[in-house]
Amino acid sequence: MTFNEVIEGLYSENERLICSILNNGEHVCKSKIKNLLVIHTGFYCQVQTGTVFEVLYGVKDKKIYYQKQKTSLALPMGLPILINLSELPFQSKAYGRNEWYNQYNVTYGSFHVVLVKEIKNKNSKVLSLILSDKNNTNVSHFSICDKNGIIKTYPLCIQNMPVFYLSHNGFYFYKQSYCSENDLSWNNYGKSYEKYNGYNDWSDDLIDDVFGGVPEATWNVD
């Protein structure tokens, strides 16, 4: 999927479409790219266990990835992040020196890079970015453009974080969509420790959902 298609779906406020977008992705630990360069979408969602996930977009493979929120501050759309998957626990860091991608060009499928001087935030969300240009431009949105100019803008972060249900089959926007009368797995969520033998005292479901089925990734988690 293109970055524009992903963002359009995630920010549509259509929960069915959002879940469809998320279910086209996978946990970052399943990527086969050891040094995974991603761009933050500014999108977050919470699941029934209280875990908050952030959604990322792979620059090289054009895939959707998600992982447990790594920082208390909700990061802005367009922030490039390099994730080192060669060691556990996985290490994430900002890519480049004060770089931010402020635009995506649908005509050329490319991002425009600017340098950031200062970040303004409030209530754990990035409100705007001050650019390192002669005017100290204050930018509070991410732009989608084509060869003729800007065609749409988005907020840097999702304003109202949705809550979804996450099962082994993916994200769903209401419980009944995957929990039928004959499916009692919901009642047993987080209670089994057989698959991973209670690795670091985490349940099988949480290791699968939060850590992508990699028990070793639970180290150094508060």
Percentage with pLDDT > 70 across the chain: 81
Predicted model pTM: 0.80
Say whether both 7 and 105 belong to one domain.
yes
Looking at residue 56, its pLDDT comes to 97
Write the pLDDT tens digit of every residue in 17-62: 999 999 999 988 888 888 999 999 999 999 888 889 999 999 999 9
Angle between helices 15-22 and 3-10 (to 10 degrees): 140
Say whether both 144 and 220 belong to one domain.
no
Residue 12 in any domain: the answer is yes
| Domains: count for the chain | 2
Say whether both 196 and 140 belong to one domain.
no
| DSSP E strands, 20-109 | 26-27, 35-47, 52-58, 64-68, 80-84, 91-94, 99-105
Residue 174 in any domain: the answer is no
* Mean pLDDT (the chain, rounded): 84
As beta bridge partners, residue 155 has 141
Closest Cα partner for 166 from 207, 200, 218?
A: 207
The two structure tokens encoding residue 140: 């509070």
Q: Which residue type does 105 have?
A: N
Burial class for 51, CB neighbours closer than 10 Å (0-12, 13-18, 19+): middle
Residue 222 in any domain: the answer is yes
- Of the two residues 185 and 63, the one the predictor is more confident about is 63
Residue 113 in any domain: the answer is yes
Residue 136 in any domain: the answer is yes
Residue 95 in any domain: the answer is yes
Indicate the pLDDT class of residue 215, thresholds 50, 70 and 90: confident
User: 68 φ, ψ to 5°?
Assistant: -60, 140
Residue 79 in any domain: the answer is yes
Beta carbons of 86 and 32 less than 8 angstroms apart: no
Write the pLDDT tens digit of every residue in 108-157: 999 999 999 999 998 888 999 999 999 999 999 999 999 999 999 999 99
Say whether both 22 and 78 belong to one domain.
yes
Say whether both 66 and 153 belong to one domain.
yes
Looking at residue 188, its pLDDT comes to 53
Looking at residue 207, its pLDDT comes to 73
Residue 159 in any domain: the answer is yes
Largest CA distance in the chain: 64
User: 169 φ, ψ to 5°?
Assistant: -95, -5
Looking at residue 214, its pLDDT comes to 72
95 lies in which domain range? Answer: 3-164
